[in-house]
Chain A
């Protein structure tokens, strides 16, 4: 397919990448390209300049520092699946990454891309809100951090502004007596989600985050990590999810309750060890 004309640069440092993003109107960062290249084919996006982040090795690093798992924004989903650091610190991330699309997409697709696209059906936005991740955003004026629950601001929109770059995602390591769960209904095995839910249980309370039912992930905090309270909280949230060819709004609302219960059940079982 023929894409619209575009300029391309592959900077060697993060500072250079941020400077290029700030200098050029219509510039967009290019991570793995597993969404961006496709939307460019459809001309749903038509950036004038692509700033390829491929040479920024430090953005691919995965490490643990203290009680925090640090994920470079350019870490691929395959890296996350294979990472011993992720496996020890927060295995739910690898478990979910393993179910994104297919091998080829996971080999190129990055966690930073997954969240910066902020498609409401993506896996990682609700999960990162549930686990209480913190996002580090670099701009020409310096670095700032944004909690995941404030990072997702609208459909395809995040707190990353023009001329800024998501560089790092920090996830608290799983503590003793806590557990994570993820559940949902997809179109085909490992396909697009119709509804998903992530849950984190700690000290008897739970954070449940629903995806695909609103423009941004919907966070529900439960005092008690019970299936019944999860169902009740979803009902009380008065969700108004979209209707489409795959599911009516009413069916999505129903699935939100089912997914929340399943995610809380899984997280609770894991919290017990």
Chain B
């Protein structure tokens, strides 16, 4: 593989179904690669300390915080961001449920909430309220008090 240490590296990732190849400095965080290099600004930087979860994306199908990964660590990975959810312009059931249940106010945490909840629903299509609260523990919302977010995810699982 790439066994010689280097400050810059060309990485290849699949992002929302598209292949991208780009040279990045090893110190660049994955969230900055996504936002600044690729212009996908749906992924937010909230705290930049790994606490808030606004930067949550999927790497090889798993929810991760993109501010706690270097872009070079994602070399070879398949990435999905919030832009990849409604790729054809039609909201997913979860996104529609967020709208129906008024699960956002300022919206800053919403991309991360959607990515964490999408990962949950893929593993557990009919989560209980307790499952949802456990799965969203890494995502902070300072507006809603979480009640409507949890309702929206549970309802999306029930197909409501």
- Determine if A107 and B62 form an interchain contact, defined as CB atoms under 8 angstroms apart: yes
Chain A contacts for B70, CB-based, 8 A: 8, 33, 37, 50
A1-39: CB near B (< 8 Å → 1, else 0) gives: 111111111111000100010001001001001100110
- Determine if B73 and A30 form an interchain contact, defined as CB atoms under 8 angstroms apart: yes
Q: Closest CB of chain B to A36's CB: distance in Å?
A: 9
Q: Which of A96-104, A116-124, A206-214, A241-249 contacts B (4 or more CB under 8 A)?
A: A96-104
How distant is the Cα of A54 from the Cα of B75 in the complex, in angstroms?
10
Q: Which residue of A lies closest to B138 (CB)?
A: A102
Q: Which residue of A lies closest to B74 (CB)?
A: A54
How distant is the Cα of A51 from the Cα of B6 in the complex, in angstroms?
11
- Determine if B135 and A105 form an interchain contact, defined as CB atoms under 8 angstroms apart: no
- Determine if B65 and A104 form an interchain contact, defined as CB atoms under 8 angstroms apart: yes
- Which residues of B from 53 to 72 have beta carbons under 8 Å from A? 53, 56, 62-65, 67-70, 72
Which of A10, A27, A37 contacts B68, CB < 8 Å? A37
A161-188: CB near B (< 8 Å → 1, else 0) gives: 0000000000000000000000000000
Give the secondary structure class of B's interface.
Answer: mixed
B22-37: CB near A (< 8 Å → 1, else 0) gives: 0001110100000000
A190 at interface, CB cutoff 8 A: yes
Which of A20, A37, A189 contacts B3, CB < 8 Å? A20
**Number of residues in B with C-beta < 8 Å to the partner?**
36
- Determine if B1 and A10 form an interchain contact, defined as CB atoms under 8 angstroms apart: yes
A226 at interface, CB cutoff 8 A: no
Q: Which residue of A lies closest to B45 (CB)?
A: A1
- Determine if A103 and B72 form an interchain contact, defined as CB atoms under 8 angstroms apart: no
A264 at interface, CB cutoff 8 A: no
B142 at interface, CB cutoff 8 A: no
Chain A contacts for B50, CB-based, 8 A: 34, 37-38, 105
Q: Which residue of A lies closest to B56 (CB)?
A: A104
How distant is the Cα of A20 from the Cα of B63 in the complex, in angstroms?
30
Chain B contacts for A38, CB-based, 8 A: 49-50, 68
A78 at interface, CB cutoff 8 A: yes
- Determine if B3 and A12 form an interchain contact, defined as CB atoms under 8 angstroms apart: yes
Chain A contacts for B67, CB-based, 8 A: 1
A41 at interface, CB cutoff 8 A: yes
Chain B contacts for A2, CB-based, 8 A: 27
- Determine if B5 and A3 form an interchain contact, defined as CB atoms under 8 angstroms apart: no
Q: Closest CB of chain B to A89's CB: distance in Å?
A: 24
Which of B1, B49, B68, B116 contacts A55, CB < 8 Å? B1
A49 at interface, CB cutoff 8 A: yes
Chain A contacts for B56, CB-based, 8 A: 104
Of the candidates B5, B25, B53, B70, the one having the most CB atoms from chain A within 10 angstroms of its own CB is B5
Report A's interface with B, CB cutoff 8 A: 1-12, 16, 20, 24, 27, 30, 33-34, 37-38, 41, 49-52, 54-55, 78, 101-105, 107-108, 189-190
Report B's interface with A, CB cutoff 8 A: 1-7, 9, 25-27, 29, 48-50, 53, 56, 62-65, 67-70, 72-73, 75, 116, 119-120, 134-135, 137-139
- 16 A-B contact pairs sorted by A residue (CB < 8 Å): A1-B48, A1-B67, A5-B26, A7-B5, A8-B6, A9-B6, A11-B1, A101-B137, A103-B116, A103-B137, A104-B65, A105-B138, A107-B63, A107-B64, A108-B65, A189-B137
